Amino acid sequence: MSIFSLRRLRAFVPPAMTALAVAPAHADTASADTTLPAVSVSANSAANESVAPRAVDPNLPASVETVTREQFSNWNVVNTEDVLKYMPNLAVRKRFIGDLNSIIAVRGTSNTQSARGLVYADGLLLSNLLGNNFSFPPRWSMVSPDEIQQVDVIYGPYSALYPGNSLGATVLISTRMPKKFEAEADVKAFTQHFSLYGVNRNFNGSEASASIGNQIGKFSFLLGVNHLENTSQPLQFATLAKSGTPAKAGDTPVTGAYFYNNQTNTPTAILGINGEGIEHTVQDQFKLKMQYDFTPTLQGAFTLGYWHQTYNSETSSFLRDANGNAVYGGKVSINGYEYTIPASAFAPSLGHSENWFYGVTLKTRNATGWNGEAIASYYDVSNSVARLASSGAPDNGAGTVTFGDGTGWKTLDLRSTYTPASTQAGLANHALAFGYHYDNYFLDNESYSTLNWRDGSATSFANAFAGKTQTQALYAQDAWRFLPRWKFVYGVRYEDWRAYDGSQALPGTRVALANASEQHFSPKASLSFDVSDDLTLRASIGRAYRFPTVSELFQGQINGSSIVNNNPNLKPEDDLSKELTAEWAHWNGIFRFSLFQDDVKNTIFSQTDTTVIPNVTNFQNIGKVRSRGVETSYAGENVFMRGLDLLASVAYTQSKIIANAQNPASVGKYFYRIPLWRVNVAATYRFDERAAVTLAARYSGRQYNTLTNTDTNPDVFGGTSSYTVADAKFTFRPTKLSEVGIGVDNIFDARYFVYHPYPGRTFYLEAKLRM
């Protein structure tokens, strides 16, 4: 069945899922006069054909874009976040295959504001709201691409069913369950050649996955395993500003440095590879989903996820003395000028992490009338060790070791929904949702010195920080069709947030940080008008509060008796979001045109307070940031000719700082890492049922890596580039039970940066077997 045969049901909305106002986990409900009855979703394979995705609930108060398994199966997808790569006005900060720091950026939310996005898998929260930067990405690893049936992206905070972290976008991942016995194996190999600043070599990786599942009466299960191993291109370089000090006697003459103008056009010497360096990662995943239908309308499910990762960051010095020996520190002479290289300039690192995820769901599935659901989840970082050397020279030497055991979060969601039937009186024109939400995030990090950074035991205590946040919320929402073509969706969310048990410590010093609490109401409203069966206009407005995370409040350092680099007095981000949208079904697809504006007061961001001496750098509230723009998108099947499917979007976003008392020089400047333009295109031509080819392109325009927009040379290491990247994949199915794919990302080997270099041209080879 074509996805557009269901979209025609409500021509103005793309398919998403059946929850009221697009809930993260749905009770299978349908309105007798506006939606089809709910249908089951199963594996999309020749051996076990799936039915089409569920039609979206028509009570949607926001714009949604959808990608289905049928679409992304023809793209180069290795990690789960890859299925989002061509979404309108959205980008994923993925620096290499297996990158742990993959953050989504959308509209006026940059790729370092991780707490401004929500990711759910079958209603279970995967968002890592322990912090708000690249170190706290969603736990994509708890979902394998092979189990995904559909992904929906909701733009903006217009539904009362979601917390203020939906300020950017909410990603809803729907996974499949088998309808009969199935088994699948998938093997991928990938390689890139990377040349930059004296590095010229190949970097290779592979992935293998397998799954088995079945439905036996009322019970169904799906078990999957995945193993990924990859080596990244260099991610970071050791640099020093070009020296003007003549070399002195005793300075070691060295060669091998590379000179360039950095992001601020300052002449700079690259000395080697440092920091994250060339990262080798090994990741193993285990996932078990079980589902049981107690009655035709009552279903329970259990999810168990396990993910283990080890990484090793290789560093190296480019500098060589007269005898060809590598030089890692001290005073050196480069081209007759003196440079002082700190011992830690090339310090390598390694570590490992073990994570468990538990989820329980119980829900009813009545087509009309009342439904209920309960969802509980627990994410446990059971073992986390990060090791860092003090020096780059010795293979085994002193360093630090950091333990993050006991960190994680737990959630509970209770919801009741009412779906009207045309024969019922009284509530026939109202679709209702009521709910309660609870989450608790807890963070505990301890660092120690060690005599052997690679595998030595902890010796003396260095520092620690800890803290917790808790949110409880009540919400209600109503979709009222007060006239045949008019609908008003309105709701309110009340949130009670508190932060507590915050502390920081150094040897002999422990400081308890003050607790904090906030309570806020967030009203939402959306008015839509069906101009015709194919054209709908909608106006939406919503207020949202994004509360501070544990690390924003409590993570920092202690210098003597003074606490620095943390801010326990942060205010929540206060957003007023507005959107005007037209959605038109035409030419075998759906066009969307949206105008949007977000006015965010008290934006939480790490910046330098230049109004005090000495300057203080920490998380602060920026007075006001305004983001406004326009999005156009199209998604269609059999466009112009049979077999040609097309996704295309163009978006313009202007995000500027309106007020910032702590850094006045930033007022009127563009906000951090929000490109003016984003363009995404993906065209797939299906020759027949056995073969398909995809050509795609991604464009991101000018953006800045500083709040004062001083990075005037963005296309270098340390800068944030504009870029145009082209991708391709050919998929062939020799039999109904087998599939091979050959693909390439970054066809023209563009060199582009998000401070770190992005990957070069990357080739993929994939083989699948099913039964």
Q: How do residues 143-179 score in pLDDT, each as one tens digit?
A: 999 999 999 999 999 999 999 999 999 999 999 999 9
- Pairing mode, if any, of strands 723-732 and 557-559? unpaired
Q: How much is the average pLDDT of 392-399?
A: 82
Q: Which amino acid is at 691?
A: A
Q: Residue 361 forms beta bridges with which residues?
A: 301, 375
Q: Which amino acid is at 11?
A: A
Of the pLDDT bands very low, low, confident and very high (cuts 50, 70, 90), residue 556 is low
Of the pLDDT bands very low, low, confident and very high (cuts 50, 70, 90), residue 189 is very high
Does pLDDT of 2 surpass 70? no
Does pLDDT of 30 surpass 80? no
Token pair recorded at residue 69: 């398994």
Closest CA to 349 of 236, 263, 439, 425: 236
Q: How do residues 623-651 score in pLDDT, each as one tens digit?
A: 999 999 999 999 999 999 999 999 999 99
Give the per-residue pLDDT at 617. Answer: 82
Q: What gap in Å lies between CA 133 and CA 115, rounded to an integer? A: 8
- Answer whether 467's CB lies under 8 Å from 517's CB: no
What is the count of structural domains for the chain? 1
- Is residue 766 assigned to a domain? yes
- Is residue 482 assigned to a domain? yes
**Between 44 and 407, whose confidence is greater?**
407
Q: What gap in Å lies between CA 88 and CA 93, rounded to an integer? A: 15
Q: Name the DSSP letter for residue 670.
A: B
Sign of CA dihedral 714, 715, 716, 718: positive
Domain hosting 406: range is 3-209+217-420+431-624+651-770
- Is residue 55 assigned to a domain? yes
Q: How do residues 364-376 score in pLDDT, each as one tens digit?
A: 999 999 999 999 9
SS (H, E, C) 490-508: EEEEEEEEEEEEEEEEECC
Give the per-residue pLDDT at 506. Answer: 87
Q: What gap in Å lies between CA 625 and CA 620, rounded to an integer? A: 13
Question: Is the entire prediction scored with pTM above 0.85?
Answer: yes
Q: How do residues 101-148 score in pLDDT, each as one tens digit?
A: 999 999 999 999 999 999 999 999 999 999 999 999 999 999 999 999
Q: How do residues 725-737 score in pLDDT, each as one tens digit?
A: 999 999 999 999 9
Of the pLDDT bands very low, low, confident and very high (cuts 50, 70, 90), residue 424 is very low
Token pair recorded at residue 675: 């490109």
Q: Residue 595 forms beta bridges with which residues?
A: 580, 630
Does pLDDT of 272 surpass 50? yes
Give the per-residue pLDDT at 57. Answer: 59
Closest CA to 451 of 401, 404, 507: 401
Considering the chain, what percentage of its residues have pLDDT values greater than 90?
Answer: 83
Q: What gap in Å lies between CA 208 and CA 189, rounded to an integer? A: 9
To which residue do tokens 């107690």 refer? 294
Preceding peptide of 614 cis, ω within 30°: yes
Q: What gap in Å lies between CA 403 and CA 18, rounded to an integer? A: 42
- Answer whether 12's CB lies under 8 Å from 530's CB: yes
- Is residue 637 assigned to a domain? no
Q: How do residues 224-267 score in pLDDT, each as one tens digit?
A: 999 999 999 999 999 999 999 999 999 999 999 999 999 999 99
Q: How do residues 297-325 score in pLDDT, each as one tens digit?
A: 999 999 999 999 999 999 999 999 999 99
- What's the Cα-to-Cα distance from 338 to each of 31, 272, 333, 341, rounded to whole Å? 76, 17, 5, 10
Of the pLDDT bands very low, low, confident and very high (cuts 50, 70, 90), residue 427 is low
Average pLDDT, the chain: 89
Give the per-residue pLDDT at 611. Answer: 87
Sign of CA dihedral 443, 447, 453, 455: negative
Q: How do residues 57-83 score in pLDDT, each as one tens digit?
A: 567 799 999 999 999 999 999 999 999
- Answer whether 691's CB lies under 8 Å from 729's CB: no
Q: What gap in Å lies between CA 107 and CA 168, rounded to an integer? A: 7
Give the per-residue pLDDT at 668. Answer: 97
- Terminal-residue alpha carbon distance, the chain: 22
- Answer whether 238's CB lies under 8 Å from 273's CB: yes
Q: How do residues 203-219 score in pLDDT, each as one tens digit?
A: 999 999 999 999 999 99
Closest CA to 574 of 618, 604, 607, 539: 604
Q: What gap in Å lies between CA 625 and CA 603, rounded to an integer? A: 7
- Read off the CATH number of the domain in which 517 is found: 2.40.170.20
Q: How do residues 472-490 score in pLDDT, each as one tens digit?
A: 999 999 999 999 999 999 9
Which letter, b or e, does each residue of 129-152 get, where b requires 16 or more Cβ atoms within 10 Å of its Cβ? bbbbbbebbbbbbbbbbbbbbbbb
Helix (H) or strand (E) holding 400: strand 399-403
Of the pLDDT bands very low, low, confident and very high (cuts 50, 70, 90), residue 426 is low
Q: Name the DSSP letter for residue 552.
A: H
Token pair recorded at residue 428: 């026939």
Q: Which amino acid is at 173?
A: I
Give the per-residue pLDDT at 58. Answer: 65
